Amino acid sequence: MRIRMKFSKRGSLKYIGHLDTMRYFQKLMRRAGIPIAYSNGMSPHQIMSFALPLGIGDESVGEYADIELTGSVSSTDALAALAACSAPGIEILSFKALPDDAKNAMSSVEAADYEIGFTNDPDLSAFSTFFAQNEIVVLKKTKKSENMIDIKPFIFQYRVAEDRIFLRLKCGSVNNTKPELVMDAFYQYLGIDFDENLLKIKRLDLLTVNGQDFISLNDIGLEI
């Protein structure tokens, strides 16, 4: 049986990286007594995959991990066992069985919703005119290259509140767009020096495509 877990990562644990998060969950499965499956071979490991790494220092209430089970456990019992063994800052929010034809979380994710707060006070009312530009061209750096790209097609939605901005951005293995990249371009538009430490980023959810619509990864699967 394949299981999808949704979890939050908040407080001081937002400062641990992706690899440490993976190690944390490996230990959590053992301590909670979840009957997780292991791979075969000389060095067996838990069958577990995560949807999309979260930036260090970012909070999230919409992270996902997929696992395989060797035995049966109800969603209610699993959530109780995981809560009893979990550290403050990580909470398992759902535990659902995936249908046989469901893709794993890593290959499913197509977009992410973010809430962005600020420790300084930029003019957020200018975001609409910033987004109204024909192009939003930025320098995107990777380990292997640097390229000028137009990220406007990868900003699917935005909403400006009094002191924060909500963004729905393209993510995944192709054209992954980080909120820091969008905010860097916005600060340049305002003529303000950009420092990503000025941002308070919270990932709200990860989404996949269902027909013409985006749906939460949490909408796939059923409680058991």
Distance, in Å, from the CA atom of 142 to the CA atom of 178, rounded to the nearest integer, reads 12
Q: What integer pLDDT is reported at residue 3 of this predicted model? A: 96
**Of 72, 70, 94, 73, residue with least CA distance to 83:** 94
Per-10-residue mean pLDDT of the chain, 224 residues long, equals: 96 93 96 95 91 93 96 95 95 96 91 95 93 91 80 96 94 87 94 91 95 93 93
Question: 217, 4 in Cβ contact below 8 A?
Answer: yes
The residue assigned the tokens 């979890």 is 7
At 28, phi and psi to the nearest 5?
-60, -40
Q: What integer pLDDT is reported at residue 146 of this predicted model? A: 79
Q: Write the class of the CATH domain 2-106+217-223.
A: alpha beta
**Of 181, 206, 175, residue with least CA distance to 111:** 206
Judge if 2-106+217-223 and 108-215 fold alike in CATH terms. yes
Q: What integer pLDDT is reported at residue 147 of this predicted model? A: 83
Pseudo-torsion of CA 91, 94, 98, 104, nearest 10°? -30
Distance, in Å, from the CA atom of 203 to the CA atom of 54, rounded to the nearest integer, reads 8
What is the value of pTM for the model shown?
0.93
Burial of 64 (0-12, 13-18, 19+ CB in 10 A): buried
**Of 69, 122, 115, residue with least CA distance to 96:** 69
Element (H, E) at 32: helix 18-32
Q: What integer pLDDT is reported at residue 63 of this predicted model? A: 97
Level-2 CATH architecture, domain 108-215: 2-Layer Sandwich (3.30)
Q: What integer pLDDT is reported at residue 210 of this predicted model? A: 86
Q: What integer pLDDT is reported at residue 174 of this predicted model? A: 77
Domain boundaries defined on the chain: 2-106+217-223, 108-215
